[in-house]
Structure 1
Amino acid sequence: MLDPLYLFVFAGLFTPGPNVILLTASGARFGFRPTIPHVLGVAAGVGVTSALTALGVGAVLLALPALKLTLQVIAVGWILWMAWKLLRSRGAKVDGEKDRPFTFVEAVLFQWVNPKIWIVALAAASGYASGLPAGLEALRIGSAFSGINLFVCLFWTFAGTLLAYLLTTPLAWRVFTSVMAAALAASGLMVFLA
């Protein structure tokens, strides 16, 4: 029988949020292969973040309002900066341009301030616990998040790569980057719901 945790994690991670928006835009802008370190960093970072949440880090954040507020402000600042950078981008990367996709480490670190991951991980840890010892429960939840998210990230990156075939004019790129930047900025509002 399929563990209901997997369905919950899939639904929580597949729907648009900061990672989905950034990976779709990166796939469109830089291509599939250059975005792979970003994909792997998201999968690893989500796994670690959700495992630590299952171990109680999420409860600590909820118990320390000043720490939670500090992380929220950092998250909003980082998300708005990325939205601004995306809005200012010129579309498909051209040779000689310095802009690049996220590195593996940047993608891992982003998960610490990604509000959607904290929300989904807290809900999974509290609503889908299986009664295992703490370490095994963290491993169960972390591996579910990491494994499922790897396929979710690959899907959205590939979708972005396919979108690039439709973005054949500067106006099309401008509309695409504007919509993606606005969606990313709006996802920053989720920070204060976590």
Structure 2
Amino acid sequence: MLDPYLTGILLAYGVFMIGMFTPGPNILAVIGTSMSIGRTEGKALALGVATGTFCWSMLTALGLTALVSTYASIMVLLKVIGAAYLLWLAFKAFKSAMTIKELEVRPVHLNGGPLAFYRRGLLIQMTNAKAALVWIAIMSLAMDGQAPIWVASLVVVGTSIMSAVGHVIYAVAFSTSPVVAVYAKARRWIDGVLGVYFCFASYKLVTYRP
């Protein structure tokens, strides 16, 4: 029962995991907070971001399921939107790979302990306007007009776990200066690989059939 949807689910996981290597507002906040304030605060912020990931994935899964059950043909449009956004991410990654720039971290300064940083992480993720497009692309890779609800559930659970683990790893690793230095040296290569994968994912999104 899993076989027809396994490729799409793995592609969705792949896009999400690769996206974790693209420094956006959430990751830059985690890195900056861990570097400038402390590892504990960075981890609290990371878990808040991961909770936001779970919320976005749930909202997208429920929304797509409701839309597709009412208008089956809308899935084609959503796949086109998702593929176009993945190509845009590829363009940004290639552009970044060709430029020399410093890592612009964004430390979050708060009073109130880890709980305050957790809430700020959740707020940062939930107010990220681009998250909706990202999740349309991710869910469209795994789902089609006939996909059962458990397919979306696997994507929600899997990406939420990856988000929690990945952002905490960022918080722990980037609280040490050697990791920051290594990342700065490898950034352009990382961006180039990200661009290639986003192009591949965009192609698979418009051609994949479960």
Please give the range of the TM-score, normalised by the shorter of the 2 chains: 0.5 to 0.7
Q: 1:187 aligns with which of 161, 172, 197?
A: 197
Q: 2:174 aligns with which of 161, 164, 167?
A: 164
* Structure 2: runs of 5 or more not aligned: 34-41, 110-120, 206-210
Structure 1 partner of 2:65: 54
Q: Is the 8 A contact 2:83 2:203 kept in 1?
A: yes
Q: Is the 8 A contact 1:72 1:191 kept in 2?
A: yes
Q: What CA deviation, in whole Å up to 9, does each residue of 1:99-146 have, x standing for no partner?
A: xx8532316424345x34321234xx745x3xxxxxxx4xx5555533
SS state at 2:21 partner:
helix
Q: 1:173 aligns with which of 180, 183, 186?
A: 183
- The alignment status of 1:103 with 2:125, answered yes or no, reads yes
> Deviation at 1:156?
1.1
Question: What number of residue pairs does the alignment pair up?
Answer: 172
Structure 1 residues 192 and 84: CA distance shift in structure 2, 3 A: same
* Structure 1: runs of 5 or more not aligned: 130-136
Q: 1:121 aligns with which of 119, 143, 146?
A: 143
Structure 2 partner of 1:72: 83
Length-normalised TM-score, structure 1: 0.59
Cα distance in structure 1, aligned partners of 2:46 and 2:146: 33
Structure 2 partner of 1:134: none
Cα distance in structure 1, aligned partners of 2:182 and 2:193: 17
Runs of 4+ in 1 over 6 A off after TM superposition: none
SS state at 1:168 partner:
helix
Q: Is the 8 A contact 1:83 1:185 kept in 2?
A: yes
